[in-house]
Amino acid sequence: MKVLLASPRGFCAGVNMAIESLEMALRAFETPVYVYHEIVHNKHVVDTFRDRGVVFVDQLEKVPEGSTLLFSAHGVSPHVRNVARQRRLRTIDATCPLVTKVHLEAIRYAREGYTILLIGHAGHDEVVGTIGEAPGAIHLVESPEDVDSLAVPDEQRVAYLTQTTLSVDDANRIIRRLRERFPHIASPPKEDICYATQNRQEAVAWLADEADMVLVLGSQNSSNSQRLAELATERGVPARLIDGAEDIDPDWFDGSETILITAGASAPEIVVRACIEALTNRFQASVETRSLRAENVSFPLPKVLRSVLPLEAGDSPGTEP
């Protein structure tokens, strides 16, 4: 067996920042530390933090007044922030700056009287938070077919935004249809789909044709990980989305395949290495790293954490929790 290890893969800058924020919150404040929704959509990361005294909640009413609460990388709506203030919670905002960018765009377009067409997946935490910024002005668009049924008050005042973790190809199909339907549609000056999502998708597209199977490390509720598996499948290559080595079924392989391994932007490198070790031990796999491009992006930690607990020497954002 030959393993092609795609690069870039795994943690993006936003996930690094969110995870390091939670690490520092555990050092700075008494447990339990609460997190609104999952810190990132990855079972390994969430379970590890839960074992260390983090409590993940979906309703702020479950957070005792005065407690420490961290907002996840996916962002939250103004309503959630208001409830947190009313409950006198010490909040730490670990929203990815690229998600914040979309929120600010939604606010600006709404103030200027635009109908906003948000391309994304219903129910995703990021989408829920973005819609919350301008609920009366935003319509969710999930497919090109949705475009045909849209009714807007003024077709000259329409703008689109996108969820940051979408398939680039899927988003472009919807955008093309939007431009056909609304020739004057406005868009942000810089696209919303994040650099890491695009890089990981491009790496899979570049390498999938060399592989007999693609293993994507990531959880089922991770949008960007799902897109990687779908991209491989669309190219005619079987793909499996798995949380870790424990999910690998040896019957998937006959020992002679070329396997492409990648990881979604919320999957830690430790699970990648465990999968490689499992394939090496079982099939004597050789490993070849194939790099599309380097990533050197980083985001600052939330100000409240920088002020109470400086990053210690030797720490690096994004280390495994």
Which residues are registered as beta bridge partners of 33? Answer: 54
Give 66's DSSP letter.
Answer: T
Question: Can you tell me the distance from the alpha carbon of 168 to that of 148, in angstroms, rounded to the nearest whole number?
Answer: 21
Q: By C-alpha distance, which of 134, 122, 190, 187 is closest to 158?
A: 187
Q: Name the residue type at position 31.
A: T
Which 3-state string (H, E, C) describes 147-182?
Answer: HHCCCCCCCCCEEEEECCCCCHHHHHHHHHHHHHHC
Other Cβ atoms less than 10 A from the Cβ of 282: the count is 13
The answer to whether 112 is a known catalytic residue is: no
Give 58's DSSP letter.
Answer: S
Classify 77 as helix, strand or coil. Answer: coil
Q: Report phi then psi at 284, rounded to 5.
A: 50, 45
Which residues are registered as beta bridge partners of 215? Answer: 240, 261
Which member of 126, 133, 230, 257 is catalytic? Answer: 126
Q: Which long-range contacts (CB under 8 A, 24 or more apart) does 296-302 make?
A: 297/12, 297/13, 297/195, 297/196, 298/13, 298/16, 298/17, 299/13, 299/14, 299/16, 299/17, 299/96, 299/97, 300/17, 301/17, 301/20, 301/21, 301/24, 302/21, 302/92, 302/93, 302/94
Which residues are catalytically annotated? 126
